[in-house]
Structure 1
Amino acid sequence: MEKFDELDAVAGNKGETFTKTPIVPIANETESNSGQGKIAAEHLNQAEYPISSGIAVVINNINFDDRLNLTDRIGSDLDASSLFQRFMELGFDSDLLNDATKNEMETKFNEIKGDKESLKITDCLIVVLLTHGTEDSVYMTDGVVKIKNVMEHFNATNCPELHLKPKVFILQACRGSDLGGGVERKVIRNRDPNQADASASYVEYDEEFGETIRIPNEADFLAVYSTSTGYGSFRNTETGSPFVRHLSDELREMKKGEDFYKVLTRVNKKVGMGYKPKHKSEGVITQMPCFISHLTKDLVFKQKV
């Protein structure tokens, strides 16, 4: 009798059985990195995602159904237009949805998934959600939807044309009602200009060609949040949100060949340590962005100009 690996958690009742999912072996295919159970070995072993084209969808929700009792997100138009412009400059086929309902979001995602010929030549997908939110959900204009469910539209099972391709979700939304806290310290200028940069290395795991691999549904996803879990996310009615403003600036100024991780890390620093929210609450109020990466390669965007 075949033995299975056990989970380090209680999974249902005793005696519960699980069905094994059949795995399709890799074929020796070189013209594409996606298809019916086929992955080219050269795509699997690349250290960097090859990006020459992409799709970007910006969903900008400002006005909501009165029954949701949510305030209008005045100033979000600035965020939407700046990110839309950045993605256009990066050569992405970009689209902007204003005040989208759950059905309109689903329709747009299904439209993307349904155009399989376009997806085959698409190297990257970016979805931006500018809206109200909770710890694990975001609001469309007519109701709430789990972030997990939004992302699942494009996972390995539901969108095989995007296997091994980065899927980036950027969320400017609250993730709770708490206010970020912190401390204030004086910055003392260092007289020594020589600063040692920490270095790190990683060992890339290579499967022997012809071996069967499994692609997790969560593989090649990058979730970028304007704030940490449990906390609110600020937006200015005249200048937009500090998170999107700094992200847009960093995308415009990023160096040729620079990994997107570095861009996001600079955004974390500028918002987390440089932004001082104007809020009626006493004490030190902060906002700390974060990103959760399931990427399997370096992510480098190719500037159009």
Structure 2
Amino acid sequence: MAEATDESAIKIDTLDVEDKLKWCKEILEYGRERFGQLEKSESLTEFINELANQKIISGFNKMSLEKLKVQSEVVEELHRILPSKGWDNFKKAREILYTKFPNFKEEGIWDEDKVDDLPVLSIKYSAANEDLSATGVEHDGAAATSTNDIADVDGMFSSSSRAPAQPTKSEPVKSRSDFSALPSYSMTNRRHKGICLIINNELYDRARAANKDFKDRRGSSKDADSIKELFSKLGFYVEYQKNLTKSKMDKLVDMMVSFQGLNTYSCFVAVFLSHGENECLNCVDGQDKKIDDIINAFKGDNCPALRGIPKWFIIQACRGKDFNYEVNIQHDAPGDDGHDVERQSDRPISIPACADFYISYATAPGYYSFRNINEGSWFINDLCKVLREYAQKEDVNTMMTRVNRNVALGRVVGSEYGYRRQMPCHVNMLTSALYLTNVRQSQI
């Protein structure tokens, strides 16, 4: 199934009425302060008269504006009226504005190119849904200190003085019939198989402009490409968004939850590639978005379209500033507690108390996760490899245990402080086994 187009490729003229209205409001908001600085109220009156003459606003609108004595109130009412007139009339109003006030055109007031792209669900405009109604290792922490930063070096493990430990050979894959005692979610009970939402926060220049210490997440585009290719071949529709501010993230989550076509999908997957800390995602403007808030938005009481439908959240982000150092494990006998383990964070994993969720974190609470600037993150890299090989045979929980093993035992980076590893973490609230394929596919 073809993946969604990039949001920047969607033109305002092609959007539906609802999204055009959002754009109008955003564009007007961008120029609000400057527009309200017209030196003479006569200039504003002249502009309003021309809007009425061109039938862009009604006579009643003009009268209501003329009754207002304070210029700020006139501007506020005008900003309320114009979006309701539609995108075409807004463009005509802009032509009048630029004719009467050429300096506004020079400054880009009311110019959509000056406004950050709004998140737009390209799935709403896809052919697949026309029938619907309407080379170094880095971590994904926000900032790197002089002691915690891992320098960019050639090769994923070139900072290590020894070869990484490798997982032992896995047992042969069992056939699906071996798991027949556990019921599984259906991938064919709805019109479409599944939808995969990908949010890739890679460029943090806005956060740095606000004097916040964030590095760009080099290599994250590799993760995004791998996830897009994987889930497209699995038959999912892919909705791809990138470099979202906190405001955009809020809007996108709201749009997805309320998307009227969401109830035609048998499975929902959301992948977040971002800096993170303290159970939050760091948006590209440096503001935090709580992971709980995102997940809770898709609970059955908030998102009826996904009730009883498996929801898998994949989160590639740091969850703290600790490194997971190696420890020696000595087993004297099965069940013996006489071995050394590294103490994990005391912070509990905060999750919504609801069914049909599966949440995959790249790392345990309180710890960094690692990303290679050329090959992508350890977690997403191994996740894609495992799913390509086992998605036709195993359920998600079994496959993610394989991912745990591959990341924990097969990945390591060295430093003067010791060898650092990573331990993925999963929260399973599924009520059935989740298989991403109902039948074997030729190749993933």
- TM-score after normalising by structure 2: 0.49
Conserved 8 A contact 2:278-2:366: yes
Superposed displacement of residue 121, structure 1: 1.8
User: Structure 1 stretch 105-114 or stretch 235-244: which is displaced more?
Assistant: 105-114
Q: Which residue of 2 aligns with 1:293?
A: 428
Q: Which residue of 1 aligns with 2:221?
A: 77
User: For residues 207-222 of structure 1, what are the structure 2 equivalents within 5 Å?
Assistant: 218-222=354-358
Q: Which residue of 2 aligns with 1:51?
A: 187
| SS at structure 2 position matched to 1:284 | strand
Distance (Å, rounded) in 2 between the aligned partners of 1:253 and 1:103:
38
Query: Residues 294 and 281 from structure 1, CA distance in 2 versus in 1: closer, same or farther, beyond 3 angstroms?
Result: farther
Conserved 8 A contact 1:56-1:127: yes
| SS at structure 1 position matched to 2:354 | coil
Distance (Å, rounded) in 2 between the aligned partners of 1:146 and 1:281:
34
Distance (Å, rounded) in 2 between the aligned partners of 1:288 and 1:154:
26
Q: Which residue of 1 aligns with 2:200?
A: 60
Residue 180 of structure 2 is aligned to residue 180 of structure 1: no
More helix by share: 2
| Number of equivalent positions | 229
Query: Residues 217 and 180 from structure 1, CA distance in 2 versus in 1: closer, same or farther, beyond 3 angstroms?
Result: closer
Conserved 8 A contact 2:296-2:302: yes
| SS at structure 2 position matched to 1:59 | strand
Q: Which residue of 2 aligns with 1:251?
A: 387
Conserved 8 A contact 1:157-1:217: no
Superposed displacement of residue 183, structure 1: 2.6
Residue 289 of structure 2 is aligned to residue 131 of structure 1: no
Query: Residues 152 and 132 from structure 1, CA distance in 2 versus in 1: closer, same or farther, beyond 3 angstroms?
Result: same
- TM-score after normalising by structure 1: 0.71
Letter aligned with residue 80 of structure 1:
A
| SS at structure 1 position matched to 2:321 | coil
Structure 2 counterpart of 1:100, from 231, 235, 244: 244
Superposed displacement of residue 76, structure 1: 0.6
Residue 254 of structure 2 is aligned to residue 110 of structure 1: yes
Residue 420 of structure 2 is aligned to residue 269 of structure 1: no
Tell me which stretches of 4 or more aligned residues in structure 1 moved more than 3 Å. none
Superposed displacement of residue 182, structure 1: 2.3
Deviations 1:17-51 (A, max 9, x none): xxxxxxxxxxxxxxxxxxxxxxxxxxxxx821111
Letter aligned with residue 63 of structure 1:
L
Deviations 1:26-81 (A, max 9, x none): xxxxxxxxxxxxxxxxxxxx821111411111111111221232111011110110
Superposed displacement of residue 185, structure 1: 7.2
Look at both structures and tell me which one has the larger radius of gyration over its CA atoms. Answer: 2
Residue 326 of structure 2 is aligned to residue 226 of structure 1: no
| SS at structure 2 position matched to 1:223 | strand
Distance (Å, rounded) in 1 between the aligned partners of 2:242 and 2:441:
26
Q: Which residue of 2 aligns with 1:120?
A: 263
Conserved 8 A contact 1:184-1:284: no
Letter aligned with residue 223 of structure 1:
I
| SS at structure 1 position matched to 2:272 | strand
Q: Which residue of 1 aligns with 2:310?
A: 166
Distance (Å, rounded) in 2 between the aligned partners of 1:124 and 1:260:
12
Q: Which residue of 1 aligns with 2:234?
A: 90
Query: Residues 295 and 56 from structure 1, CA distance in 2 versus in 1: closer, same or farther, beyond 3 angstroms?
Result: same
Superposed displacement of residue 161, structure 1: 1.3
Superposed displacement of residue 249, structure 1: 0.6
Letter aligned with residue 249 of structure 2:
M
Residue 374 of structure 2 is aligned to residue 238 of structure 1: yes
Q: Which residue of 1 aligns with 2:55?
A: none
Distance (Å, rounded) in 2 between the aligned partners of 1:92 and 1:226:
22
| SS at structure 1 position matched to 2:372 | coil
User: For residues 35-46 of structure 1, what are the structure 2 equivalents within 5 Å?
Assistant: none
Instruction: Please list every run of 5 or more consecutive structure 2 residues that lacks an aligned counterpart in the other structure.
Output: 1-181, 331-351
| SS at structure 1 position matched to 2:385 | helix
Distance (Å, rounded) in 2 between the aligned partners of 1:185 and 1:163:
43
Distance (Å, rounded) in 2 between the aligned partners of 1:150 and 1:176:
19
Letter aligned with residue 164 of structure 1:
G
Letter aligned with residue 127 of structure 1:
A
Letter aligned with residue 372 of structure 2:
N
Distance (Å, rounded) in 1 between the aligned partners of 2:420 and 2:385:
23
Superposed displacement of residue 304, structure 1: 5.3
Distance (Å, rounded) in 1 between the aligned partners of 2:321 and 2:409:
20
| SS at structure 2 position matched to 1:272 | helix
Identify the structure with bigger relative contact order (alpha carbons < 8 Å, sequence gap 6+).
1
Superposed displacement of residue 180, structure 1: 0.2
